[in-house]
Amino acid sequence: MDPKPRQNPDRRRALAEAALRCLQRGGYASLTARKIAAEAGMALGHISYHYASMDELLAAAYALASEQLRAAGNALIADKATPLDRLEAFLLAGFTPEFLSPSHLRMRISLWSAALEHDAIADTERALYERYRNELNTLLSAIARPDKAHTIAKVSDMIMATLDGIWLDWMRRRDQISSQNALLACMDYARLTLT
């Protein structure tokens, strides 16, 4: 839904940021509009003025979290000289201490869970997933030999599923060596399959 003409984009963003902080602290189950408004330092009415529903606000929060990850990835790949180095930096971006913190992972899992029940959040999650996958496909295309281009989708599917699994495994075990090994395996698979 497009914002109302007089809505303040800074307040919309502040509310989305507040929703993220609330999700990081308490997860989706304890999230309320009152908590978000208090976190943002705004009256409760600001939520209904700036967002048509809580689902729309959570979708905006999801997009904001994704943008933070994307910005971190872009910063890491900016100075990489080779396509393989850019792919590795892209994969590692989501596994820095900031994105592996318990609060960030709580927020991420909460939004994944909310997407199962709420169409607006699910639509946002699908769009963000596709954007991330398209960026990955671009990086994989840069390393693929011409005769291997038909296998990019298979490599992309394996990497995307593995990345999700690494985040979930990290939440359970906090095993840095296992996470690094899984990321290196993604790189090895891409390199062996595409180059």
Tell me the per-residue pLDDT of 86-114, one tens digit each, with 9 for 90 and over.
999 999 988 888 888 888 888 888 888 88
Query: What DSSP designation does 101 have?
Result: S
pLDDT at 4 over 80: no
All domains in the chain, ordered by first residue: 63-194 (1.10.357.10)
CA nearest to 68, candidates 107, 37, 94, 86? 94
Q: What are the C-alpha distances in Å from 142 to residues 31, 84, 138?
A: 42, 8, 6
Q: Give residue 8's pLDDT.
A: 85
pLDDT digits (tens, 9 = 90+) for 121-156: 899 989 989 999 999 999 999 999 999 999 999 999
Contact 121, 192 (CB under 8 A): no
Structure tokens belonging to residue 133: 């996958």
Its pTM stands at 0.83
CB 15 within 8 A of CB 57: yes
How confident is the model over 66-90, as pLDDT tens digits? Answer: 888 888 888 888 888 899 999 999 9
